[in-house]
A and B are shown apart, each in its own frame.
Chain A
Amino acid sequence: MANTDIEQRKQELLNQGYTEVYTKTKVLTDAVLHYCPGCGHGTTHRLVAEVIDEMGIQDKTVGVSPVGCSVMAYNYFDVDFQEAAHGRAPALATAIKRLNPDCFVFTYQGDGDLAAIGTAETIHACNRGENITMIFVNNGIYGMTGGQMAPTTLVGMKSATTPYGRNVALNGYPLRITELLATLPGTYYVTRQSVQTPAAVRKAKAAIRKAFENQKLQKGVSFVEIVSNCNSGWKMTPVAANKWMEENMFPNYPIGDIKVDGKIAEGIDANRLVLSHPLTVVNK
């Protein structure tokens, strides 16, 4: 259907007494997302845009896009955007926030950007307690460059550079950077969410909303990790990738709040925060 047909159809439904329950927010542009079919990036973009729309902060939001799959995020958000050098989004966001304290500043990064090359910037921005929101999309792989091993790749998980599965002796352990950041005093809100089911999407949206609202409090970094699929990198269909993610990613990256209002959330095992939580070995 062409755009005009869609608008016509929507108008017809409204004339027939239907009310609109859901439509794509205007904070996202009409550009077609370049992501692979079924990628969690698209959903996460939409959630961030919806939160910006609902809070009415479109004209005072500045985003920082990373290098990675989401490098062209600036094409899709109808808000001010900056493109950072690889991994340096938190440093750029620091500058933007300090120069424009009234703006809502968020970084949008993947695991290769935030947890590998940008580790120093990430940790120091969090440790300084910069008053920004960080959205971290973790799919356990370098998606854009062809599915190489990332710091977050699970033990035993096959990737382009670990064809026999990630071997701890050779490649080390997966980095749970979200737990690591929760131990820093500068973070105010740290949570891990996912976007594979309607229920998960609603929770993730509430978390992103809280992360943006926290900027008004000036208490420190609000960090939202979204565990996502990478169906092309994992060589699966989108639906199978979501299922695999639930079975294998979630035991290693448990979903839920880790730090709320500057305090470790209830029910969080202290062992998990010092990274001695047992990792499961996957076979794919």
Chain B
Amino acid sequence: MAFKGQIVIDTERCKGCAVCLAACPMQVIELSKNVNGKGYNYTEVVNDKCIGCASCAMVCPDGVISVYKKQC
């Protein structure tokens, strides 16, 4: 049973700590070259391999990640 996931990142609240990058098993997340209003390189989704495991959201200290998934 495969799942396809989507994450929504609140980029303005993201502090670019990169803890979610280390936690992601599919290397879906990267730090953006752009910065947000506070000057942090926020995280962004770079591919569509997300499986909706919510590991990134689990470790995010600022709770900026929401995770959605559906069966495919």
Q: Which of B13, B57, B62 contacts A22 (CB 8 A)?
A: B57
Cβ of A86 within 8 Å of any chain B Cβ, yes or no, is no
Number of A-B contacts (CB under 8 A): 105
Task: Across the interface, name the chain A residue whose C-beta is closest to B38.
Answer: A32
B-side contacts of A40, CB under 8 Å: 61
**B55 touching A237 by the CB < 8 A rule?**
no
Interchain Cβ contacts under 8 Å between A and B, 20 examples: A13-B8, A20-B68, A21-B5, A21-B57, A22-B57, A23-B66, A24-B66, A32-B13, A33-B62, A38-B18, A39-B61, A40-B61, A41-B61, A43-B59, A198-B58, A201-B58, A201-B59, A238-B18, A239-B21, A242-B19
- Chain A 16-44 near chain B by CB (<8 Å), digits 1 or 0: 11111111110010001101111111110
- Assess whether A1 is in contact with B10, with CB atoms less than 8 Å apart: yes
- Residues in A with CB closer than 8 Å to B13 are 32
- B40 is contacted by which of A37, A43, A231 (Cβ under 8 Å)? A37
| A169 contacts B by Cβ under 8 Å | no
Report A-chain residues with C-beta under 8 Å of the C-beta of B65: 22
Residues in B13-72 with C-beta less than 8 Å from chain A: 13, 15-19, 21-23, 40, 52-55, 57-70
Is the CB–CB distance between A19 and B18 below 8 Å? Answer: no
**B8 near A18 (CB under 8 angstroms)?**
no
Closest 7 CB pairs of A and B: A42-B61, A38-B17, A37-B15, A37-B17, A24-B63, A18-B68, A23-B66
Asked if A2 and B70 make an inter-chain contact with CB atoms under 8 angstroms apart, the answer reads no
Give chain B residues whose Cβ lies under 8 Å from the Cβ of A109. none
Bound Cα distance A41, B13 (Å):
16
Asked if A276 lies at the interface with its beta carbon under 8 angstroms from chain B, I say no
Inside 8 A of B63's CB, which chain A residues have their CB?
24-25, 28, 42, 46
Bound form: Cα–Cα A14–B22 in Å: 27
Cβ–Cβ < 8 Å partners of A14 in chain B: 68
Pair B60/A21 contact, Cβ less than 8 Å: no
Chain B residues within an 8 Å CB radius of A60? none
Instruction: Tell which of B13, B21, B64 has the most Cβ of chain A within 10 Å.
Output: B13
Cβ distance B32 to chain A, nearest Cβ, rounded Å = 12
Enumerate chain B residues within 8 angstroms of A28, measured Cβ to Cβ: 63
Contact A33 B61, CB 8 Å, known A2-B12, A38-B15, A242-B19: yes
Cross-chain contact A37 with B70 (CB below 8 angstroms): no
Chain A residues with CB under 8 Å of B59's CB are 43, 195-198, 201
| B57 neighbours in A (Cβ, 8 Å) | 21-23
A40 to B9 alpha-carbon distance, docked (Å): 19
Output the least CB separation between B49 and chain A (Å).
16
Which of chain A's residues have a CB closer than 8 A to the CB of B19? 38, 196, 238-239, 242
On whether the beta carbons of A19 and B68 are closer than 8 Å, the reply is yes
